[in-house]
Amino acid sequence: SYVLTQPPSVSVAPGKTARITCGGNNIGSKSVHWYQQKPGQAPVLVIYYDSDRPSGIPERFSGSNSGNTATLTISRVEAGDEADYYCQVWDSSSNGGVFGGGTKLTVL
């Protein structure tokens, strides 16, 4: 089955830019979605189809996808952005979703 690889943790100072990567074999040929999960809460979709934002998600959140790496970028990071972030693609062989292992974003 398809494997997505994320760094376990990323740290960033407030006001700076955080970049969270998601690696996969030729992931650039797939649509990548990103979810934010705060402690004790359900995941929330923050980026879909590589770079689109659902309504209500700040413009500070953006995404890109090329080659073997997809990236979630959070500009002007705020304390409230501290959360776990998961990338996800669709696996046509299983007709189901595949998630990366998740990245804990720490705001210093």
Partner 1 sequence: EVQLVESGGGLVQPGGSLRLSCAASGFTFSSYWMSWVRQAPGKGLEWVANIKQDGSEKYYVDSVKGRFTISRDNAKNSLYLQMNSLRAEDTAVYYCASSRDSTFDYWGQGTLVTVSS
Q: From the CB of 90, what's the least distance to partner 1, in Å? A: 4
61 binds partner 1 (CB under 8 A): no
Closest CA to 74 of 82, 66, 62: 62
Question: Which listed range, 9-17, 58-66, 73-81, 87-95, lies at the site for partner 1 (CB under 8 A)?
Answer: 87-95
Q: From the CB of 6, what's the least distance to partner 1, in Å? A: 9
- Only one residue has tokens 């080659």, namely 67
86 binds partner 1 (CB under 8 A): yes
Q: From the CB of 15, what's the least distance to partner 1, in Å? A: 29
Q: Is 27 helix (H, G, I), strand (E, B) or coil?
A: helix
CB 43 within 8 A of CB 57: no
Q: What is the total count of residues that contact partner 1 (CB under 8 A)?
A: 25
CB 19 within 8 A of CB 82: no
